[in-house]
């Protein structure tokens, strides 16, 4: 009875893909790649770096590239978005199937939602300083205490 090695199966599957220029994996193959990679992700040393988990691979892999035994790709991460940021962090990943390792690193940001309008703090500071200097008791940004 022979046991099936899912990492070797992934390697064989990747070797059978008709690659685009420079080892790029065609877009139509990405859903199956994400599924197959998610199945072996937890078996790769380093796969949990940067908080990566297998379920985070689905529908997020970008620019996958296969050059004999090394799969590389970018992935959009949404943790900062859930915390209120308007940007998602981009990570790079490199999977070495021969060594059974995954390296994950931060690689920048992608603007997802429109940024909030910038605040001119110099102008605000000048306004507040002027209100203090002129003892403007009507300015709602200031709270005056009596000198008694």
SS3 16: coil
Bridge-partner residues for 91, per DSSP? 75, 106
Residue 55 lies in a domain: yes
Residue 60 lies in a domain: yes
Number of structural domains found in the chain: 1
Report yes or no on 10 lying in a domain: yes
Sheet (strand 87-96) strand order: 61-67, 70-77, 87-96, 101-111
Residues 6+ apart with CB under 8 A from 128: 139, 141, 142
pLDDT of residue 82: 64
Cα 86 to the center of its chain, rounded Å: 12
Read off the DSSP letter of residue 34.
Answer: H
Residue 40 is predicted with a pLDDT of 94
Q: Concatenated DSSP letters for 58-125? A: TTTEEEEEEETTEEEEEEEE-HHHHTT-SEEEEEEEEEETTTTEEEEEEEEEEE-SPPPPPP-HHHHH
pLDDT in 10s for each residue of the chain, 148 residues: 557 889 999 999 999 998 887 889 999 999 999 999 999 999 999 998 888 899 889 888 999 999 988 999 998 876 665 666 677 778 899 999 999 999 998 888 777 677 777 888 888 899 899 989 898 888 888 888 877 6
- Tell me, yes or no, whether 128 lies in a domain: no
**Residue span of the structural domain in which 60 resides:** 6-111
What is the per-residue pLDDT for 13? Answer: 93
- pTM of the complete model beyond 0.85: no
pLDDT of residue 4: 82
Task: For residue 28, tell me if it sits in a domain.
Answer: yes
Please report the pLDDT score of residue 106 as a whole number. 87
Partners of residue 89 on adjacent β-strands? 77, 109
SS3 5: coil
Tell me, yes or no, whether 84 lies in a domain.
yes
Helix, strand, or coil here: 57? helix
Is residue 122 one of the residues assigned to a domain? no
Residue 132 lies in a domain: no
pLDDT recorded at residue 79:
61
């Amino acid at each position: 009875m022979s046991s099936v090695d899912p990492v070797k199966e992934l390697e064989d599957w990747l070797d059978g893909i008709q690659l685009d220029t420079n080892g790029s994996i065609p877009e139509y193959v990405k859903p199956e790649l994400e599924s197959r990679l998610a199945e072996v992700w937890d078996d790769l040393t380093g796969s949990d770096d940067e908080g990566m988990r297998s379920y985070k691979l689905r529908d997020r892999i970008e620019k996958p590239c296969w050059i004999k035994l090394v799969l590389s790709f970018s992935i959009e991460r949404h943790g900062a978005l859930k915390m209120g940021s308007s940007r998602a962090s981009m990570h790079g990943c490199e999977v070495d199937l021969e060594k059974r390792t995954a390296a994950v690193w931060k690689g920048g940001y992608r603007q997802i939602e429109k940024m909030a309008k910038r605040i001119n703090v110099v102008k605000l500071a000048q306004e507040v300083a002027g209100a203090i200097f002129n003892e403007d008791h009507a300015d709602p940004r200031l709270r005056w205490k009596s000198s008694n």
